[in-house]
């Protein structure tokens, strides 16, 4: 990205996000104001970008934020991904009434497709069901984990109508018949506003439906869904490796005995970064790049884990304090490996025939 855009973002991160990082990590503070600041600064706008440029921009934006705080980067990914559903969907109502608010940060959103992605991979059944009624659908069921939510937020989801049809909708959190229960107590990333969502005969009008054929929508958005997550691994690993490099100048006399050093980690990082941004440039809607993107996403997760563990050993006892940056980064790295699609999810799909991929 050019420096005209880069510098305002980095200044915003230093000024608005850095002071919050410890509070987000240790106290579960949701960085709502920072996410809205990004929108006000124009970082969500799609006015001058096509799908490929948006994927490239979103990947870069998430990487930059992840360098400071991966909880915030994940919440950002949720918003950008949910925003994509509206951009790629077929609801003119949502595009006319909500899209500008989402792109300006006035309204924030979550993605809600974790269960659906596992369903399409053959790992879970759909937990949300839809019955066709006059003027829309009646939704019943649960979605156990959806992040970046609040009473005035929206999120995307997929519900099963029958064995042949699934429908995708964009749901306001204050929808009658929908109950949100906050999830806490995670090892890390408690500041991501994560909720258990229960639908009890909730009426979803047709103008909230982003596609009556959810299979087709998911096929279009899946490459970007997975690729932009790589930004979390890139930003996290870059921050960790820089820390190891700085430390080697002070304690290299002892740390050089450790098997994992900064130079090979940085080489892996550079390779993954080049692959990710190239994939963003050539990403297309027909799904032909999905397998490559899955492999990049998997490599980014394993790199984050290796780098975070290396940092713990390089720093030593000081890293073992819960409030240490190294401890936070280790917990963030495990999240990169466990968020949908998880490493085992990706390993399964990468061994599957091409015909089994969406």
Q: Which class is 215-356 in CATH? A: mainly alpha
Tokens 């490099």 belong to: 245
d(CA 297, CA 233): 8
Phi, psi of 351 (to 5 degrees): -95, -5
Domain with CATH 2.40.110.10 in the chain: 109-213
Q: At residue 6, does pLDDT exceed 80?
A: no
Residue 188's pLDDT is: 86
DSSP state of 17: I
What pLDDT does residue 285 have? 45
In the chain, where does the domain assigned CATH 1.20.140.10 lie?
A: 215-356
342-358: per-residue pLDDT in tens?
999 999 999 877 645 55
Residue found under tokens 């939704």: 139
Percentage of residues in the chain having pLDDT higher than 70: 93
**Would strands 166-172 and 209-211 be described as parallel, antiparallel, or unpaired?**
antiparallel
* E-strand stretches of the chain: 109-110, 128-133, 136-146, 154-160, 166-172, 178-182, 195-205, 209-211
Arithmetic mean of pLDDT, 302-312: 97
Answer whether 82's CB lies under 8 Å from 110's CB.
Answer: yes
What pLDDT score was predicted for residue 2? 46
| pLDDT, position 284 | 53
Q: How many residues appear in the chain? A: 358
**213-234 pLDDT tens trace:** 999 999 999 999 999 999 999 9
Q: Average pLDDT, whole number, for the chain?
A: 92
pLDDT tens-place string over residues 102-136: 999 999 999 999 999 999 999 999 999 999 999 99
pLDDT score recorded for residue 277: 95
**How much is the pLDDT for 314?**
94
pLDDT score of 3 = 47
Question: Residue 255: which pLDDT band, with cuts at 50, 70 and 90?
Answer: confident
The one-character DSSP state at 107 is S
In this structure, whether the domain defined by 3-104 belongs to CATH 3.90.79.10 is answered with no
- pLDDT over 70 (residue 77): yes
pLDDT more than 90, % of the chain: 84
Q: What's the fold here for domain 109-213?
A: Butyryl-CoA Dehydrogenase, subunit A; domain 2 (2.40.110)
Rounded Cα distance between 43 and 64, Å, is: 12
Question: What's the burial of 96, exposed, middle or buried (CB within 10 Å: 0-12/13-18/19+)?
Answer: exposed
Choice among 2-6, 140-144, 239-243, 311-315 with the minimum mean pLDDT: 2-6
* pLDDT confidence bin for 51, thresholds 50/70/90: low
Spatial separation of the C-alpha atoms in residues 182 and 194, rounded to whole Å: 6
Pair of tokens at residue 324: 């240490």
CATH 1.10.540.10 in the chain is located at 3-104
Scanning the structure block, which residue is given the tokens 């990468």? 350
Q: Are the CB atoms for 227 and 233 separated by under 8 Å?
A: no
Structure tokens at 264: 């090979």
Residue 350 tokens read as 């990468």
């Amino acid at each position: 990205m050019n420096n005209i855009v880069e510098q305002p973002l980095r200044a915003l991160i230093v000024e608005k996000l850095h002071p919050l990082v410890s509070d987000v990590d240790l106290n579960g503070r949701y960085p709502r104001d920072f996410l809205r600041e990004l929108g006000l600064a124009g970082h969500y706008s799609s006015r001058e970008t096509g799908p490929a440029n948006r994927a490239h921009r979103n990947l870069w934006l998430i990487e930059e934020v992840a360098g400071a705080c991966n909880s915030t980067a994940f919440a950002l990914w949720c918003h950008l991904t949910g925003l994509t559903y509206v951009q790629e969907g077929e609801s003119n109502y949502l595009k006319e009434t909500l899209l500008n608010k989402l792109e300006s940060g006035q309204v924030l959103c979550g993605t809600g497709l974790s269960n659906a992605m596992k369903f399409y991979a053959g790992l879970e059944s759909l937990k949300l069901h839809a019955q066709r009624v006059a003027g829309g659908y009646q939704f019943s069921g649960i979605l156990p984990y959806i992040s970046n939510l609040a009473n005035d937020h929206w999120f995307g989801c997929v519900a099963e109508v029958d064995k042949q049809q699934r429908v995708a909708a964009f749901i306001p959190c204050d929808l009658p018949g929908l109950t949100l229960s906050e999830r806490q107590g995670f090892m890390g990333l408690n500041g991501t506003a994560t909720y258990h969502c229960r639908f009890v005969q909730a009426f979803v009008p047709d103008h909230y439906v982003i596609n009556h054929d959810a299979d087709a929508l998911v096929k279009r958005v899946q490459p970007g869904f997975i690729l932009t997550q790589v930004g979390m691994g890139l930003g996290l690993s870059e921050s960790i490796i820089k820390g190891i490099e700085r430390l080697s100048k002070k304690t290299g006399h002892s740390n050089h005995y450790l098997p994992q050093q900064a130079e090979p980690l940085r080489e892996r990082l550079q390779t993954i970064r080049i692959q990710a941004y190239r994939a963003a440039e050539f990403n297309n809607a027909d799904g032909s790049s999905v397998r490559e993107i899955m492999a990049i996403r998997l490599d980014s997760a394993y790199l984050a884990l290796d780098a975070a563990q290396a940092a713990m050993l390089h720093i030593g006892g000081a890293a073992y304090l819960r409030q240490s940056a190294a401890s936070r980064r280790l917990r963030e790295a495990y999240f990169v490996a466990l968020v949908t699609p998880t490493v085992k999810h990706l390993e399964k799909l990468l061994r599957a025939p091409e015909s089994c991929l969406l």
